[in-house]
Protein backbone atom coordinates (compact mmCIF):
# COMPACT_ATOMS: atom_id res chain seq x y z
CA UNK A 1 0.00 0.00 0.00
CA UNK A 2 1.66 3.22 -1.15
CA UNK A 3 0.84 5.26 1.95
CA UNK A 4 2.39 2.72 4.34
CA UNK A 5 5.50 2.57 2.16
CA UNK A 6 5.63 6.37 2.03
CA UNK A 7 5.48 6.81 5.77
CA UNK A 8 7.85 3.90 6.40
CA UNK A 9 10.43 5.40 4.03
CA UNK A 10 10.37 8.73 5.83
CA UNK A 11 11.94 8.48 9.25
CA UNK A 12 10.23 10.71 11.77
CA UNK A 13 12.41 13.84 11.89
CA UNK A 14 13.67 14.62 15.35
CA UNK A 15 13.31 18.25 16.38
CA UNK A 16 16.72 19.92 16.15
CA UNK A 17 15.46 22.84 18.22
CA UNK A 18 17.10 22.78 21.66
CA UNK A 19 15.22 25.71 23.19
CA UNK A 20 11.48 26.42 23.13
CA UNK A 21 9.95 26.74 19.68
CA UNK A 22 7.41 29.44 20.56
CA UNK A 23 7.70 31.92 23.41
CA UNK A 24 5.08 34.56 24.11
CA UNK A 25 6.23 37.08 26.73
CA UNK A 26 3.69 39.57 28.09
CA UNK A 27 2.06 40.02 24.69
CA UNK A 28 -0.84 42.42 24.36
CA UNK A 29 -2.74 43.64 21.31
CA UNK A 30 -5.81 45.81 20.83
CA UNK A 31 -7.93 46.65 17.79
CA UNK A 32 -9.85 49.95 17.73
CA UNK A 33 -9.76 50.39 21.52
CA UNK A 34 -10.82 46.80 22.17
CA UNK A 35 -8.20 44.80 24.06
CA UNK A 36 -8.07 41.46 22.25
CA UNK A 37 -5.13 39.85 24.05
CA UNK A 38 -3.73 41.05 27.36
CA UNK A 39 -0.47 40.00 28.97
CA UNK A 40 -0.20 36.63 27.26
CA UNK A 41 2.81 34.55 28.27
CA UNK A 42 3.38 30.90 27.43
CA UNK A 43 5.99 28.57 25.96
CA UNK A 44 5.77 25.70 23.47
CA UNK A 45 8.57 23.13 23.63
CA UNK A 46 9.88 21.15 20.64
CA UNK A 47 7.60 18.26 19.67
CA UNK A 48 4.74 19.59 21.82
CA UNK A 49 1.15 19.99 20.62
CA UNK A 50 -0.47 22.96 22.37
CA UNK A 51 -4.23 23.07 22.09
CA UNK A 52 -5.65 26.57 22.42
CA UNK A 53 -9.22 26.59 23.70
CA UNK A 54 -11.61 29.37 24.48
CA UNK A 55 -14.99 30.87 23.68
CA UNK A 56 -15.60 32.69 20.39
CA UNK A 57 -13.96 36.10 20.18
CA UNK A 58 -11.41 35.51 22.91
CA UNK A 59 -8.43 36.09 20.61
CA UNK A 60 -7.40 32.58 19.53
CA UNK A 61 -7.00 33.38 15.82
CA UNK A 62 -5.20 36.62 16.67
CA UNK A 63 -2.77 34.57 18.78
CA UNK A 64 -2.03 32.31 15.81
CA UNK A 65 -1.40 35.25 13.50
CA UNK A 66 0.89 36.81 16.10
CA UNK A 67 2.87 33.56 16.29
CA UNK A 68 3.43 33.67 12.52
CA UNK A 69 4.28 37.36 12.45
CA UNK A 70 1.17 38.22 10.41
CA UNK A 71 0.25 40.68 13.16
CA UNK A 72 2.50 42.75 15.39
CA UNK A 73 1.74 43.01 19.12
CA UNK A 74 1.29 46.38 20.80
CA UNK A 75 3.58 45.27 23.63
CA UNK A 76 5.59 42.27 24.71
CA UNK A 77 7.74 39.97 22.60
CA UNK A 78 7.25 36.80 20.59
CA UNK A 79 10.12 34.44 19.85
CA UNK A 80 9.81 31.64 17.30
CA UNK A 81 12.82 29.33 16.81
CA UNK A 82 14.76 31.76 18.97
CA UNK A 83 14.10 34.75 16.70
CA UNK A 84 12.01 37.71 17.78
CA UNK A 85 9.23 37.76 15.19
CA UNK A 86 7.53 40.73 16.85
CA UNK A 87 10.39 42.98 15.74
CA UNK A 88 11.50 41.34 12.49
CA UNK A 89 10.94 43.14 9.18
CA UNK A 90 8.61 41.36 6.77
CA UNK A 91 11.48 40.41 4.43
CA UNK A 92 13.18 38.40 7.19
CA UNK A 93 9.89 36.85 8.26
CA UNK A 94 9.48 35.30 4.81
CA UNK A 95 12.64 33.26 5.41
CA UNK A 96 11.52 32.18 8.89
CA UNK A 97 8.10 31.14 7.61
CA UNK A 98 9.74 28.42 5.51
CA UNK A 99 9.90 26.50 8.80
CA UNK A 100 6.27 27.21 9.70
CA UNK A 101 3.12 25.78 8.14
CA UNK A 102 -0.23 27.45 8.75
CA UNK A 103 -3.75 26.18 8.21
CA UNK A 104 -6.27 29.03 8.16
CA UNK A 105 -9.76 28.98 9.59
CA UNK A 106 -11.51 29.12 6.20
CA UNK A 107 -8.74 27.24 4.36
CA UNK A 108 -7.65 30.42 2.48
CA UNK A 109 -6.94 28.45 -0.70
CA UNK A 110 -6.09 30.56 -3.76
CA UNK A 111 -9.32 30.17 -5.72
CA UNK A 112 -7.81 31.07 -9.10
CA UNK A 113 -5.36 28.14 -8.83
CA UNK A 114 -5.88 24.39 -8.95
CA UNK A 115 -5.31 22.17 -5.93
CA UNK A 116 -1.94 21.21 -7.41
CA UNK A 117 -0.84 24.85 -7.77
CA UNK A 118 -2.12 25.67 -4.29
CA UNK A 119 -0.13 22.89 -2.66
CA UNK A 120 2.91 23.61 -4.85
CA UNK A 121 2.79 27.37 -4.25
CA UNK A 122 5.79 27.64 -1.96
CA UNK A 123 7.86 25.24 -4.09
CA UNK A 124 7.07 27.19 -7.26
CA UNK A 125 8.19 30.38 -5.50
CA UNK A 126 11.47 28.65 -4.62
CA UNK A 127 11.88 27.51 -8.27
CA UNK A 128 12.13 23.86 -7.36
CA UNK A 129 12.42 21.44 -10.34
CA UNK A 130 8.96 20.63 -11.64
CA UNK A 131 9.23 16.83 -11.37
CA UNK A 132 10.24 17.12 -7.71
CA UNK A 133 7.35 19.55 -7.14
CA UNK A 134 4.86 17.12 -8.68
CA UNK A 135 6.19 14.26 -6.59
CA UNK A 136 5.92 16.19 -3.34
CA UNK A 137 2.48 17.55 -4.19
CA UNK A 138 1.17 14.03 -4.81
CA UNK A 139 2.82 12.78 -1.59
CA UNK A 140 1.20 15.57 0.36
CA UNK A 141 -2.23 15.00 -1.21
CA UNK A 142 -1.87 11.28 -0.56
CA UNK A 143 -1.25 12.14 3.11
CA UNK A 144 -4.65 13.86 3.26
CA UNK A 145 -6.21 11.24 0.95
CA UNK A 146 -7.08 13.71 -1.81
CA UNK A 147 -4.77 12.60 -4.59
CA UNK A 148 -7.67 12.43 -7.04
CA UNK A 149 -8.46 16.14 -6.58
CA UNK A 150 -5.07 17.34 -7.84
CA UNK A 151 -6.45 19.16 -10.90
CA UNK A 152 -9.64 20.50 -9.36
CA UNK A 153 -10.26 24.09 -8.34
CA UNK A 154 -11.16 24.96 -4.73
CA UNK A 155 -14.68 25.92 -5.80
CA UNK A 156 -15.26 22.32 -6.90
CA UNK A 157 -14.40 20.93 -3.45
CA UNK A 158 -16.49 20.51 -0.33
CA UNK A 159 -15.57 22.39 2.88
CA UNK A 160 -13.87 19.36 4.36
CA UNK A 161 -11.89 18.69 1.20
CA UNK A 162 -10.74 22.33 1.10
CA UNK A 163 -9.58 22.03 4.70
CA UNK A 164 -7.61 18.90 3.84
CA UNK A 165 -5.99 20.63 0.87
CA UNK A 166 -5.06 23.49 3.20
CA UNK A 167 -3.37 20.98 5.49
CA UNK A 168 -1.56 19.45 2.51
CA UNK A 169 -0.35 22.90 1.50
CA UNK A 170 0.87 23.60 5.03
CA UNK A 171 2.78 20.33 5.46
CA UNK A 172 4.23 19.85 1.95
CA UNK A 173 7.43 21.69 2.89
CA UNK A 174 7.82 19.53 6.04
CA UNK A 175 7.72 22.45 8.47
CA UNK A 176 8.97 22.15 12.03
CA UNK A 177 6.08 24.16 13.44
CA UNK A 178 2.46 23.90 12.28
CA UNK A 179 -0.23 26.39 13.24
CA UNK A 180 -3.78 25.06 12.89
CA UNK A 181 -6.41 27.83 13.18
CA UNK A 182 -9.72 26.09 13.86
CA UNK A 183 -9.07 23.24 11.42
CA UNK A 184 -12.50 21.74 12.10
CA UNK A 185 -14.47 24.99 12.32
CA UNK A 186 -17.82 24.81 10.54
CA UNK A 187 -17.47 21.13 9.63
CA UNK A 188 -19.77 18.24 10.49
CA UNK A 189 -18.62 15.80 13.22
CA UNK A 190 -17.52 13.06 10.79
CA UNK A 191 -15.42 15.43 8.67
CA UNK A 192 -14.04 17.01 11.86
CA UNK A 193 -12.86 13.60 13.01
CA UNK A 194 -11.12 13.09 9.65
CA UNK A 195 -9.32 16.42 10.04
CA UNK A 196 -8.31 15.68 13.65
CA UNK A 197 -6.98 12.31 12.49
CA UNK A 198 -4.74 14.15 10.00
CA UNK A 199 -3.49 16.49 12.73
CA UNK A 200 -2.81 13.46 14.90
CA UNK A 201 -1.06 11.65 12.05
CA UNK A 202 1.21 14.67 11.50
CA UNK A 203 1.94 14.78 15.26
CA UNK A 204 2.65 11.09 15.76
CA UNK A 205 4.48 10.32 12.50
CA UNK A 206 6.51 13.48 11.98
CA UNK A 207 6.71 14.72 15.60
CA UNK A 208 6.19 18.36 14.63
CA UNK A 209 5.55 21.10 17.11
CA UNK A 210 2.00 22.37 16.73
CA UNK A 211 -0.40 25.00 17.98
CA UNK A 212 -4.00 23.90 17.46
CA UNK A 213 -6.79 26.40 17.95
CA UNK A 214 -10.22 24.88 18.41
CA UNK A 215 -13.48 25.68 20.08
CA UNK A 216 -14.61 22.05 19.93
CA UNK A 217 -13.78 20.34 23.20
CA UNK A 218 -14.36 16.87 21.76
CA UNK A 219 -11.66 17.47 19.12
CA UNK A 220 -9.27 18.74 21.77
CA UNK A 221 -9.72 15.73 24.04
CA UNK A 222 -9.60 13.34 21.10
CA UNK A 223 -6.15 14.72 20.29
CA UNK A 224 -5.07 14.31 23.89
CA UNK A 225 -6.37 10.78 24.40
CA UNK A 226 -5.77 9.14 21.02
CA UNK A 227 -2.77 8.23 18.89
CA UNK A 228 -2.36 7.44 15.20
CA UNK A 229 -1.79 3.80 14.31
CA UNK A 230 0.47 3.72 11.25
CA UNK A 231 -0.23 0.05 10.55
CA UNK A 232 -3.99 0.35 10.56
CA UNK A 233 -4.14 3.94 9.19
CA UNK A 234 -6.54 5.13 11.82
CA UNK A 235 -6.53 6.72 15.25
CA UNK A 236 -6.96 4.61 18.34
CA UNK A 237 -7.37 5.41 22.01
CA UNK A 238 -4.06 5.40 23.87
CA UNK A 239 -3.88 2.13 25.83
CA UNK A 240 -4.93 2.07 29.47
CA UNK A 241 -6.86 5.33 29.05
CA UNK A 242 -3.53 7.07 28.62
CA UNK A 243 -2.93 10.72 27.78
CA UNK A 244 -0.47 11.91 25.15
CA UNK A 245 2.32 13.44 27.28
CA UNK A 246 3.28 15.95 24.61
CA UNK A 247 -0.22 17.42 24.28
CA UNK A 248 -0.93 20.38 26.55
CA UNK A 249 -3.68 22.95 26.84
CA UNK A 250 -3.94 26.72 26.86
CA UNK A 251 -7.34 28.18 27.66
CA UNK A 252 -8.14 31.82 26.89
CA UNK A 253 -11.04 33.91 28.09
CA UNK A 254 -11.60 37.58 27.23
CA UNK A 255 -8.03 37.92 25.99
CA UNK A 256 -6.33 36.47 29.09
CA UNK A 257 -4.89 33.05 29.86
CA UNK A 258 -7.04 31.21 32.38
CA UNK A 259 -5.25 27.86 32.12
CA UNK A 260 -1.85 26.69 30.94
CA UNK A 261 -0.96 23.06 31.64
CA UNK A 262 -1.44 19.37 31.02
CA UNK A 263 -4.61 17.47 30.17
CA UNK A 264 -4.85 15.95 33.63
CA UNK A 265 -4.51 19.35 35.32
CA UNK A 266 -7.27 20.72 33.08
CA UNK A 267 -9.61 17.86 33.76
CA UNK A 268 -9.06 18.13 37.53
CA UNK A 269 -9.17 21.93 37.76
CA UNK A 270 -11.07 23.62 40.60
CA UNK A 271 -11.63 26.86 38.67
CA UNK A 272 -15.43 27.34 38.47
CA UNK A 273 -15.33 29.06 35.06
CA UNK A 274 -13.21 26.27 33.60
CA UNK A 275 -15.44 23.61 35.08
CA UNK A 276 -18.46 25.26 33.50
CA UNK A 277 -16.66 25.70 30.18
CA UNK A 278 -15.63 22.04 30.10
CA UNK A 279 -18.99 20.67 31.18
Partner 1 sequence: MKLASPEEFAKTSVLAVQEYSMLCVRAVSNLFSAPRYWADIYTQADSIGIGSLPIVLLTGFFTGCVLALQSATALSQFGAKNITGQLVSLSMVKELGPVLTSLMVSGRNASGMASEIGSMKVTEQIDAMRALGTDPIRKLVTPRIVATVFMLFFLTIISDAVGTVGGAMVSIFLLGLDGSQYFHIAYQTLMYPDVLQGLIKPVFFGFIIASIGCYFGMNTKGGTQGVGKATTQAVVFSSVLIIVVDFLISRTMIGIFGR
Q: Which of 17, 25, 83, 121 binds partner 1 (CB under 8 A)?
A: 121
104 binds partner 1, rule: CB under 8 A:
yes
Judged by CB under 8 A, the stretch of 38-46, 103-111, 188-196, 208-216 that binds partner 1 is: 103-111
**Helices 130-143 and 2-9: angle between axes, nearest 10 degrees:** 110
Q: For 59, which DSSP code?
A: S
**Which residue, 68 or 86, is less far from partner 1 as judged by CB?**
68
Cβ atoms of residues 114 and 153 within 8 Å: yes
Q: Which of 105, 114, 191, 193 binds partner 1 (CB under 8 A)?
A: 105
Judged by CB under 8 A, the stretch of 12-20, 99-107, 188-196, 213-221 that binds partner 1 is: 99-107
**Alpha-carbon torsion, ordered 106, 111, 149, 181, to 10 deg:** -20
**Which residue, 109 or 251, is less far from partner 1 as judged by CB?**
109
Cβ atoms of residues 198 and 141 within 8 Å: no
Cβ atoms of residues 194 and 164 within 8 Å: yes
Rg for the chain (alpha carbons), in Å?
18
Q: Which of 9, 125, 131, 276 binds partner 1 (CB under 8 A)?
A: 125
Site for partner 1 in 28-67 (CB under 8 A): 65
Cβ atoms of residues 141 and 174 within 8 Å: no
Q: Which of 102, 146, 161, 171 binds partner 1 (CB under 8 A)?
A: 102
> Which 3 state secondary structure label does DSSP give 25?
strand
How many residues belong to the site for partner 1 (CB under 8 A)? Answer: 23
CB of 84 to partner 1, least distance (A): 18
177-181 vs 100-103, strand pairing mode: parallel
Applying CB under 8 A, which residues contact partner 1? 65, 68, 70, 90-91, 93-95, 97-98, 100, 102, 104-106, 108-111, 121-122, 125, 169
Amino acid sequence: MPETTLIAEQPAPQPDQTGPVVVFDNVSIAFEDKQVLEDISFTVEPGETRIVLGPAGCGKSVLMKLANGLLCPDSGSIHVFGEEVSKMPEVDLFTLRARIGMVFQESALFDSMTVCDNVAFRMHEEHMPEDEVQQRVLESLRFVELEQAVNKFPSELSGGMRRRVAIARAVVSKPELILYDSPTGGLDPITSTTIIELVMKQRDVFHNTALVVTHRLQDAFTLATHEYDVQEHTMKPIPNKGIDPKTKFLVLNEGRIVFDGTTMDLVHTDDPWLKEYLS
